[in-house]
Amino acid sequence: NAGVTQTPKFQVLKTGQSMTLQCAQDMNHNSMYWYRQDPGMGLRLIYYSASEGTTDKGEVPNGYNVSRLNKREFSLRLESAAPSQTSVYFCASSEMGGVYNEQFFGPGTRLTVL
């Protein structure tokens, strides 16, 4: 039982390049999330998927797109990377919302945009 897995662990991009961050969970959770973590800012929600087939914007969605590929997988895409997107990205999943929203986190992807 791997929990939440993320690939890649590290990535360096040049400004304007695109990339997709992959996330998968094996806990049969309905809901999945993408966060970014910046020093002194805590975690900020980028997008979430309450259930398969739905996605919604979080606090900081600009510059990102997401795809809920199936119940297990939720990807985050940067179409044209900018230095301001240098951050650590975390994927999380939960059984569902509300009282069942104990979120389980992946190990993170460290992204640097030059």
Distance CA 46, CA 60 (A): 5
What is the nearest approach in angstroms of other proteins to the Cβ of residue 80? Answer: 26
* Contact with other proteins (CB under 8 A) among 24, 64, 90, 111: 90
The size of the interface with other proteins (CB under 8 A), counted in residues, is 28
SS3 labels along 58-109: CCCCCCEEEEECCCCEEEEEECCCCHHHCEEEEEEEECCCHHHCCCEECCCE
* Contact with other proteins (CB under 8 A) among 7, 15, 101, 112: 101
- Taking the least distance from each CB to other proteins, the nearer of 74 and 90 is 90
